[in-house]
């Protein structure tokens, strides 16, 4: 494949990806409502992805040992937006 063809494919992929996202087509409040939040929360794929992201974020914090390891508890405030999956 020639460089021009590669660039064309990448440009299409970028455009398709960006335009297929609801948040790219208008304000988030036009798409993300209670119904969409329920669909998101009931998707095992989304729940798994959110769990992995949350676990990695906590790992990156390098919190000191907790009560189970003889230390003190740590508290983390999640001020993100969304349906609250990361707090579960």
pLDDT in tens, 12-42: 565 555 556 666 777 777 777 888 888 888 8
- The encoded tokens of residue 26 equal 């208008």
The pLDDT value given to residue 35 = 86
Q: What is the pTM of this model?
A: 0.55
DSSP the chain: --HHHHHHHHHHHHHHHHHHSGGGTS-GGGT-SHHHHHHHHT-HHHHHHHHHHHHHHHHHHTPPP-GGGTS----------SSSGGG-
């Amino acid at each position: 494949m020639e460089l021009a063809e590669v660039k064309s494919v990448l440009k299409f992929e970028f455009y398709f990806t960006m335009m297929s996202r609801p948040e790219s087509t208008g304000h988030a409040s036009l798409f993300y409502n209670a119904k969409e939040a329920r669909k998101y929360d009931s998707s095992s794929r989304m729940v798994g992805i959110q769990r992995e992201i949350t676990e990695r974020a906590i790992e990156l914090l390098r919190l000191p040992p907790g009560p189970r390891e003889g230390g003190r508890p740590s508290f983390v405030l999640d001020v993100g937006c969304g349906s609250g999956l990361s707090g579960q």
